[in-house]
Structure 1
Amino acid sequence: MQVRQAILGGFAGSRILELHGARMNERRFVPGGTMVNQVKDLDAVLDVATTTGLQMPLTGGVRELFSATLERGEGGLDHSALVTQIERMSGMLIPD
């Protein structure tokens, strides 16, 4: 993916981008951290936020994206497979 290559060397570059960006490009979604676990963790974060009166709209939106993958039966895939939901929403495959 050209976007990944462009930002790897800048301020956005990170080990996470390096590893998970490669998984997304290679369509290699063998679980390291599954979608099911990601949703569980996001639920825990949102529960604490609700309890403390904290608003976390972006976290809620990300949780909705991950939940859509569970509804399609993809909960066992690595959380980097979230890119497939973003592709579905945009109506296009993200090119390499």
Structure 2
Amino acid sequence: MIKERLLVSPNKIEEMKIRLLGKQQELEDTKTDMKIWELTEMNEISNELDDKGKAVYSNDTKRQAELQSRKNDSRAYEELYVKSRTLEDEISHITFK
């Protein structure tokens, strides 16, 4: 019985490594998508002008607050965030099994 388990273990380890690498790549891709979303929104926020041609969000604090507000209102960003958290949990479970 012990011999059988030892022979199966390398295969299980290899499967776990492959699964882990896949999840890590998916997480990296999701975080990249989140960063692209944030940069696109920040670009819009930074370039937004009022009627007089002045920046609506004139300092970094206002820009960051507007970005956070847009994150909170964005279903697309929320889906990416939830996906990244789920992947992080899955990676954690694979690592500690």
Higher helix share: 2
Structure with higher Rg: it is 2
TM-score (norm 1): 0.34
